[in-house]
Amino acid sequence: MEYRRLGQTGLEISTIGLGTNNFGGRMDYDATKKVLNQTMEEGINFIDCANTYGGGKSEEFIGKALGKNRQEMIIATKAGAGLGPPGTPITGPNQRGATRHHIMQQAELSLKRLDTDYIDLFYMHRWDPDTPIEETMRALDDLVHSGKVRYLGCSNYTAWQMVEAIWAARANNLYNYCCIQNEYSLVSRDVEREVAPVSERYGVSVIPFFPLASGFLTGKYAQGEEPPEGTRFASSPNMGNRYLTEANWSLLGKLQSFSGERGHSVAELAFAWLLGSPVVPSVIAGATKPEQVTANAKAAEWQLSAEEMAEIREML
């Protein structure tokens, strides 16, 4: 497993990170522990979570399963979205957002669920238009100074929102964001318009989520056929409509030819291509079985040449 530095920090994270959105929902504790054990076996040290995943169960399972191995792992979690059991709406004031109240409250709850006294990387899950950015950044800075959080990141921000936060922190001499986590894949490349250039300019890493386009790039779907039962697109037709377009099917055919000629799958190409970006140190990939963790780790071994990257760019 290769390790790269996160943003302009000295922190080294594995090129493949483990997404844990399924923990506590689709996966019980025993299944979670098996996946986490395989994660450590593969040398993956970067675990991505959020206070909302599994209604809080994801963090609980991670804390319980890691036990004495916690010091070896880099745990990222998030605040900002409302917390409740899966399918339960959030009601009442102050249950979401980037206020000092919500940030401090959710950080303490995450620490308790993770059974740890510090969070390695703490994200703001999304931009809050109703809270002054200075309030958000000062609250996050206080968490770092208290020792409860070590590094800061943002998720689902636009480029201008990230710059607003960066300059608010600079102007007030506060700890700053070192990374941004947004959707990024071979078929979802909005990041390249503004977020990636801004990230490169300010030394902020891009951590992609949905690198396999919610399964579209794994080959589990067939053009003209209904999504298989149990897949993400079967349960979320609107999400499927985003990806199952004529343009994406055409691109997928080209990507299959490209990767097949080199003895690889499109899924492996999806990881290799993202890791070929100068602003991407790690790619978040979920797994429900240990063998999926192994496959994700193996995919990171493929390093595309400059010529191959250029050829893919022409396809895109």
Q: Among all chains, which residue has been given the structure tokens 């993770």?
A: 114
d(CA 158, CA 141): 21
DSSP character string of the chain: --EEE-TTSS-EEESEEEE-TTBTTTB-HHHHHHHHHHHHHTT--EEE--TTGGGGHHHHHHHHHHGGGGGG-EEEEEESS---STTPPP-STTSSSS-HHHHHHHHHHHHHHHT-S-EEEEEE-S--TTS-HHHHHHHHHHHHHHTSEEEEEEES--HHHHHHHHHHHHHTT---EEEEEEE-BTTB-GGGTTHHHHHHHHT-EEEEE-TTGGGGGGT---TTSPPPTTSHHHH-HHHHHHH--HHHHHHHHHHHHHHHHTT--HHHHHHHHHHTSTT-S-EEEE-SSHHHHHHHHHHTT----HHHHHHHHHH-
Cα-trace Rg, the chain: 19
For the question of residue 177 being annotated catalytic, the response is: no
Question: Which of 2, 17, 10, 14 shows the shortest CA–CA distance to 286?
Answer: 17
CB-based burial, 230-263: b 16+ in 10 Å, e otherwise:
ebbbeeeeebbeebbeeebeebbeebeebbeeee
Catalytic residue among 29, 53, 151, 157: 53
- Which residues are annotated as catalytic? 53
